[in-house]
Amino acid sequence: MDLYKKDSKQSQEQHHFSEQDQYGLYKSIFNRRDVRGQFLPSEIPNDVLSRILYAAHHAPSVGFMQPWNFIVIKSPEIKNRIHQSFTLAHQEAQAMFEAEKQDKYKNLKLEGIIESPINICITCDRNRTGKTVIGRTHMKEMDLYSSVCAVQNFWLAARAEGLGVGWVSILHHDTLKETLALPDSVVPIAYLCVGYVSHFNEKPELESANWLPRRPIDELVNFNGWEQAASNNTEQALIEQLRANIDFPQSFNK
């Protein structure tokens, strides 16, 4: 079937998702992890990498501007310079936490820049399609957000291909721009470590380390305005459904 043919009954049926199709998406969403410590040195085949990049390229973008670029980094020299920027920023960061959290922070493994076979920087070119962009006229940050959507597509596709991804944000922005020779108009959105892994963790590492708990989702949903609770039966039923779904991944994966 051709995704790009004209609308027709047949193609609309093809647009329907079976439970099996839904399962693949949800499996990727619920099993995606920020990977820092389990990278294997195995090469990533080009056909795998190309599929993931293609998924990222099909993210939504404001005014269809597709502001992203993908800089694939294998150079040991570049990786070392980025790692030095991390080491410095990591030391500075440690001092910002209250005394009781500093030790815990120091012992967290927060990046895999050197061990991962590939680093990828996803950027946003703010000048990509000229000054005036549909949908960016009133919210100037929309192009940055488009590139973030590309990051999330990349991450989910990588997970489905068995690759771990870690997003390193403890970096000096200026060092990152200089090391990758980014022009003024180009913002580095995400610096990602990518590679096959020995295993995927069952839970986010900061959750397992008791840094912070998973928030109950029913406390994050409101109606028609900030902190407005359910005010009718349908809204109350949604909140109850959310409470019942706290273990959605378990029941889904049975």
Looking at residue 75, the DSSP 8-state letter turns out to be -
Output 197-202 pairs: Cβ under 8 A, ≥24 positions apart: 197/35, 197/38, 197/39, 197/40, 197/162, 197/163, 197/164, 198/38, 198/40, 199/38, 200/31, 200/33, 200/35, 200/38, 200/164, 201/33, 201/38
Our CB check for its own copies shows the closer of 114 and 160 to be 160
* CB contact at 8 A, 246 and 24: no
Q: How far apart are CA 63 and CA 191, in angstroms?
A: 25
Least gap, CB of 197 to its own copies (angstroms):
10
Least gap, CB of 120 to its own copies (angstroms):
9
Our CB check for its own copies shows the closer of 84 and 129 to be 129
Our CB check for its own copies shows the closer of 92 and 103 to be 92
Our CB check for its own copies shows the closer of 115 and 187 to be 187
Least gap, CB of 142 to its own copies (angstroms):
5
Please count the CA atoms within 13 angstroms of the CA of 39 that sit on its side-chain side.
Answer: 25
Least gap, CB of 253 to its own copies (angstroms):
5
Our CB check for its own copies shows the closer of 115 and 188 to be 188
Least gap, CB of 153 to its own copies (angstroms):
6
Q: Which residues pair with 234 in a beta bridge?
A: none
